[in-house]
Structure 1
């Protein structure tokens, strides 16, 4: 199991090293996948909040009527919904995992 000059590794040491790397990889891969998923969700929510506050500012400055509208950003569709009786406006969207999500704020 040695090299000819006697300074090589045992087969057991190589297998132990490989097993350690596989364990580290097995622990890190799910963590990286979870972080990637959360990052994608945060990007979607950030875009929704941007659209929400953009609509609120537009309503304040221009006095535009409260009409529901469908907007498209980054290949995703966002639905802006005005609720007059509650004084609330929401942006609904479908996240990449097919779950409907919404962000809301009150009109002041």
Structure 2
């Protein structure tokens, strides 16, 4: 009832705005990093699934499926299957481009 706070509106507003900008400057880069790691994790999981599918095809059919690449979720995954010399085992590799435009490679041998 007897408060005199007529002159504090501008200073309180500037203080709140500065706190908001500082919070945004700290949390926004962390949020961007988390989003990029989530995208990279999804691509890695997809590559692992493709390796598993190709290894299962090799195990069941005994030959290479003939698929050179697969486009899934808008991303291209190149599949390379090589037969080891002097052995009956195969090696399946999946190559893809990550969010930083760097080539990534995941490989797994057949048993």
Q: What TM-score does the superposition give when structure 1 sets the normalisation length?
A: 0.83
Q: Which residue pairs with 1:93 in the alignment?
A: 96
Alpha-carbon distance, 1:83 to partner: 2.5
Give the number of aligned pairs. Answer: 104
The gaps in structure 2 that reach 5 residues or longer are none
Q: Give yes or no for contact 1:70–1:78 (8 Å, CA) kept in 2.
A: yes
- Asked if residue 78 in structure 1 is aligned to residue 77 in structure 2, the reply is yes
CA RMSD between the two structures: 2.1
Unaligned runs of 5+ in 1: none
TM-score w.r.t. the length of structure 2 is 0.81
- 1:105 matched to 2:108? The reply is yes
Residues 57 and 64 in structure 2, CA contact (< 8 A), matched pair in contact too: no
- CA distance in 2: counterparts of 1:53 and 1:8, whole angstroms: 70
Please give the alpha-carbon distance, in whole angstroms, between the structure 2 residues aligned to 1:17 and 1:66. Answer: 62
